[in-house]
Amino acid sequence: MPVFIKETVFLLSEIWYNISMSQVLYRKYRPQNFSEVLAQETVKTVLKNAIKQSRVSHAYLFTGPRGVGKTTIARILAKAINCLSPKDGEPCGKCDSCLLIADGRFLDLFEIDAASYTGVDNIREIIDGVKFAPTYGKYKVFIIDEVHMLSKAAFNALLKTLEEPPAHAVFILATTEIHKVPATIISRTQRFDFRSISQADILKLFETVLKEQGTQISPEAQKLIAQASGGSFRDALSILDQILALGGEKITLEQVEDILGVTRLASSQKLLGFILAEDSGGGVKFIKDLAFGGLDLVQFTKNFLEYLRLVLLVKLGTENSDSLGLSPEDQGILTEQASNLNGGRLLDIIKKFLETYRETKQSPVQELPLLAAILSLCGELASTSSPASPNRDENLGGRTPAKAAAKIPGKLDLGAVVDGWAKVLARAKDYNHSLLSSLRLGRIVRVEGDVLVLAFPYSFHKQTVDALKNRIVVEQVLEEVFNEKIRIKVFLEKEIENVKDENNSDLVSEAIKILGE
């Protein structure tokens, strides 16, 4: 075991964004020191030299795209400065401090994800505790991931600490959005800019992993996987996990294509076919077979949502099935399924599977939420959350205005929305990363009845959040967090002045109109 850990080179992507496929390789190839980390050569050299000369800074700022190794290097840095016998700027990996940190049991290392709800809640308390001496190590280390998400109060507490840091405290701040970190904070840190990960870096990682695993994958196939990973080491390893599960010593381009594309599409089309035919028996057997075959059902559900997106685009007429780069056969099935679905039914299915996606990730038995969704959509289960069958409407957005109006508006107040917003963002990130980065820029303007008004500085972000598929996600998340049906209405900051005079009912009725489009 220690041999391959030692020889492994790889870099893991950030904590908070992942499409949680199988993570066997990801855990196995977690780098334990600087030399095991691929890429970021400059950052590693500067840090190692500083450690060699015992020049430890009280605050570091790591900035760069997601998945380039910021939190990985932060953990290694925490290990190196607490190591009892560091060598050449590297942690020894054998002393008590090194072992405890590797094991996640080191009491003087605090890892905080500022993007998560609890992170925002607890951060001040944690920062307040900085004045107490470390219980075991040389330094008390605070890694704050996505630091730009901190609340104003938390930033103030942090700033106060950074102005006069105790000798034993080291802060490592990581962010993908440096422009949102206050200048007063930046000026008190030593800043490191992390570069993007190249395809070559990912291929280098594969070389090591495949050698360890005793498997061959053709170079073209490896490149295809690297492309599909979108520059994230974590995603690359997750895909590789699935491919290695095929077994065998040699894996071909065709097999990889199967896993990444063709199979994905075919199984999505099959599942939608069962739902369209309201064939619950067929659908249940299909999912059971997939589960039996060891398929990752979280990933499968995500693929299915991607397919539903295609169906929605074709249904909306914004996309022709022949512009999607599919085979003629797949095009035919897609077009037929889109035309056999009315809009209301399609939205019901999308909402149901957005919910299922989240549940599948949390469920101890992955197939259960999927089976429940199929039974519910085939009318076999009386679902309290799905407004499906009785009111199926021929128009897209089958939700009738009467149903929306029946909700008593005004139960929610602005304060509650502001308080719960971090939770909304944390949940939105489960669904869609690009949506999250736009949604974060939104300012909560006000609540009008059951309509939440948001303002955005730039039209790109406004449009992203306003896109039908994203609005469905946001409203779904709002419902989950506040336990109420809430509609959103989005504006540009500069438009806000113009709508100030609109009254509640106008906003509500217009929001309903938009949803009905």
Interface with Zn ion by CB under 5 A: which range of 92-100, 246-254, 384-392, 410-418?
92-100
Q: Is 102 in the site for Zn ion (CB under 5 A)?
A: no
Helix 117-128 × helix 414-431 angle, to 10°:
110
Interface with Zn ion by CB under 5 A: which range of 5-13, 87-95, 211-219, 314-322?
87-95
Q: Which is nearer to Zn ion, 106 or 286 (CB)?
A: 106
For residue 401, the Cα-to-chain-centroid distance in whole angstroms is 33
DSSP string over 323-347: GTT--HHHHHHHHHHHHHS-HHHHH
Binding-site size for Zn ion (CB under 5 A) equals 5
Q: Which is nearer to Zn ion, 5 or 416 (CB)?
A: 5
Question: Of these, 95, 159, 253, 266, which contacts Zn ion (CB under 5 A)?
Answer: 95
What's the per-residue H, E or C state across 193-246?
A: ECCCCCHHHHHHHHHHHHHHHCCEECHHHHHHHHHHCCCCHHHHHHHHHHHHCC
Q: From the CB of 30, what's the least distance to Zn ion, in Å?
A: 17
Q: Which is nearer to Zn ion, 83 or 455 (CB)?
A: 83
Q: Which amino acid is at 18?
A: N
Question: Of these, 21, 77, 98, 439, which contacts Zn ion (CB under 5 A)?
Answer: 98
User: Rounded to the nearest 10 degrees, how much is the dihedral formed by the CA atoms of 440, 441, 444, 445?
Assistant: -170
Q: Which is nearer to Zn ion, 92 or 414 (CB)?
A: 92
Question: Of these, 5, 24, 56, 92, which contacts Zn ion (CB under 5 A)?
Answer: 92
Q: What are phi and psi of 330, to 5 degrees?
A: -65, -40
Q: From the CB of 89, what's the least distance to Zn ion, in Å?
A: 12
Q: From the CB of 515, what's the least distance to Zn ion, in Å?
A: 58
Q: From the CB of 83, what's the least distance to Zn ion, in Å?
A: 3
Please list, in sequence order, all residues whose beta carbon lies within 8 angstroms of the beta carbon of residue 112, skipping any fewer than 6 positions away: 119, 122, 123, 126, 142, 143, 144, 145
DSSP string over 290-316: HHHTT--HHHHHHHHHHHHHHHHHHHH
Please list, in sequence order, all residues whose beta carbon lies within 8 angstroms of the beta carbon of residue 43, skipping any fewer than 6 positions away: 62, 73, 192, 194
State the chain's maximal CA–CA distance in angstroms. 73
Interface with Zn ion by CB under 5 A: which range of 17-25, 86-94, 238-246, 399-407?
86-94
Q: Which is nearer to Zn ion, 95 or 126 (CB)?
A: 95
Q: From the CB of 94, what's the least distance to Zn ion, in Å?
A: 6
Q: Which is nearer to Zn ion, 95 or 499 (CB)?
A: 95
Q: From the CB of 97, what's the least distance to Zn ion, in Å?
A: 5
Rg (CA), the chain: 25
Q: From the CB of 101, what's the least distance to Zn ion, in Å?
A: 9
Q: Which is nearer to Zn ion, 83 or 157 (CB)?
A: 83
Q: From the CB of 32, what's the least distance to Zn ion, in Å?
A: 10
Q: From the CB of 357, what's the least distance to Zn ion, in Å?
A: 41
Residue 38 in tokens: 């691929």
Q: Which is nearer to Zn ion, 28 or 138 (CB)?
A: 138
Q: From the CB of 49, what's the least distance to Zn ion, in Å?
A: 18
Give the C-alpha separation, 325 to 322, whole Å: 7
Q: Is 83 in the site for Zn ion (CB under 5 A)?
A: yes
**Binding flags for Zn ion, 39-78, as an x/- string (CB under 5 A):** ----------------------------------------
Q: How many CA atoms lie within 13 A of 164 on its CB side?
A: 3
**Binding flags for Zn ion, 325-354, as an x/- string (CB under 5 A):** ------------------------------
Interface with Zn ion by CB under 5 A: which range of 66-74, 82-90, 347-355, 409-417?
82-90
Q: Which is nearer to Zn ion, 138 or 433 (CB)?
A: 138
- Residue 487, H or E segment: strand 487-492
Give the C-alpha separation, 177 to 431, whole Å: 20
Residue 281 in tokens: 């028996």
Q: Which amino acid is at 114?
A: A
For residue 102, the Cα-to-chain-centroid distance in whole angstroms is 24
Q: Which is nearer to Zn ion, 98 or 334 (CB)?
A: 98
Q: Which is nearer to Zn ion, 80 or 291 (CB)?
A: 80
Q: Is 37 in the site for Zn ion (CB under 5 A)?
A: no
Please list, in sequence order, all residues whose beta carbon lies within 8 angstroms of the beta carbon of residue 273, skipping any fewer than 6 positions away: 337
Interface with Zn ion by CB under 5 A: which range of 83-91, 382-390, 472-480, 506-514?
83-91
Give the C-alpha separation, 170 to 141, whole Å: 5
Residues that bind Zn ion (CB under 5 A): 83, 91-92, 95, 98
